[in-house]
Amino acid sequence: MEKVLGEFRPLQKGLGKVLGHLESAVMEIMWQIGRGSVRDVHELLLKERRIAYTTVMTIMSRLADKGLLAKEKEGAAYFYTPVHSREEFASSIVKRVVDGLLEDYAEATFAHFVKRLQGEDVQKLQQLERLIEQRRREGEV
């Protein structure tokens, strides 16, 4: 999934943090339907907005080039399937972003992470403490 993350946009919502607006919409549809053609996705997108068939075709082709969609020709049409589940994609993005922050700003990253967990939910901080303790017992930390 190395090709997927270009620019990380932290102020955007959801998939918009790593994908463009239309790419995000197409991926959400693909995760819902599992397998589909450009026509399938275009018809579903038309329920939400006006969009040209060729635009959807371009977006899906780009997503395939980025390694997010697999492309298979059947007759005259191409059918696409997500290469990774939504959860696998999210996990990969989180890993890359956090690894990048830890590489250059480990102390600030840890400090903010703990502060954020304390501010939101003490149970989450306790869960993190248990996870760290478990890793220590298993010899991973």
pLDDT score for 8: 76
Close Cβ partners of 82 (under 8 Å, ≥ 6 residues apart): 27, 30, 31, 34, 68, 69, 70
Please provide residue 10's backbone torsions phi and psi, each rounded to the nearest 5 degrees. Answer: -65, -20
The rounded distance, in Å, linking the Cα atoms of 36 and 4 is 20
pLDDT score for 2: 53
pLDDT score for 38: 97
Residue 41 pLDDT level (bands cut at 50, 70, 90): very high
Q: What is the 3-state secondary structure (H, E, C) of the chain?
A: CCCCCCCCCCCCCHHHHCCCHHHHHHHHHHHHHCCEEHHHHHHHHHCCCCCCHHHHHHHHHHHHHCCCEEEEEECCEEEEEECCCHHHHHHHHHHHHHHHHHHHHHHHHHHHHHHHHHHHCHHHHHHHHHHHHHHHHCCCC
Residue range 61-116, pLDDT digits in tens: 999 999 999 999 999 999 999 999 999 998 888 888 889 889 999 999 888 888 88
Residue 44 pLDDT level (bands cut at 50, 70, 90): very high
In whole angstroms, what separates CA 33 from the centre of its chain? 17
pLDDT score for 140: 65
Between 24 and 15, residue with greater pLDDT: 24
Residue 127 has pLDDT above 80, yes or no: yes
Residue 46 has pLDDT above 70, yes or no: yes
